[in-house]
Amino acid sequence: MSNQLQPSDRWKADRQFNTRLYLIVLVVGLLGGVILIAISSGSERPRSSSYHTLEIVNTVSGRIYTRKFLNNDEEFAIEFVHSVNNSPVRETFKIAEREIKPVAVRFYSYGAGMPAELEEGQQMSRDGDAIIITGFNRSFTELNYNIGTVSDHLLLINEERISLRDLCGRNALVTLRVK
């Protein structure tokens, strides 16, 4: 008898090799997929253990438009054109202890709907043509906005500018809340 494999033995050997190769490729592919998912899903969250989730939600339906992750005391802003005096307004906030705390309001003209008097602890300063009020001593569990039909509301987080009109739609009632 020779050392050569008979056709039936060769077929069995090829089949076992193909099965093993298939299983190896399958396992490597699954592990690669799991690793990619873990890397991509974790990339938006801050590395700090003290981060908060800012949710942008439809006030009426409760539908969550998006979630953004911020570290404790990290600032974000809402920027819009005031509907009465038609000048830009930027409201800056930070999240601390699961609450939204106003940091500053920046605007360019007095008028209806704009601060006319300072509250206790507040300071007013100027930066060129801008009027800036700081020193707020209050906090909110949520912020509510009616997204503009003529001009947009922008959410500014880090270097990102998010159009709330594009995200939520014109005239949408939107709530920003901390989770």
Largest CA distance in the chain: 106
- Residues 131-172: tens digit of each pLDDT: 999 999 999 999 999 998 888 999 999 889 999 999 999 999
User: How high is the mean pLDDT of the chain?
Assistant: 82
* Residues 172-176, mean pLDDT to the nearest whole number: 96
44 vs 139: CA distance, rounded Å: 26
Does residue 92 have a pLDDT over 50? yes
Residue 33: pLDDT band (50, 70, 90) is low
φ, ψ of residue 153 to 5 degrees: the values are -105, 130
Give me the count of residues in the chain. Answer: 179
Helix (H, G, I), strand (E, B) or coil at 74: coil
Where in the chain are the domains?
Answer: 1-43, 51-178
Take residue 175 and report the two structure tokens written for it.
């709530």
- Residues 42-59: tens digit of each pLDDT: 335 545 557 899 999 999
DSSP H or E stretch at residue 131: strand 130-134
Residues 6+ apart with CB under 8 A from 48: 71, 72
Residue 105: pLDDT band (50, 70, 90) is very high
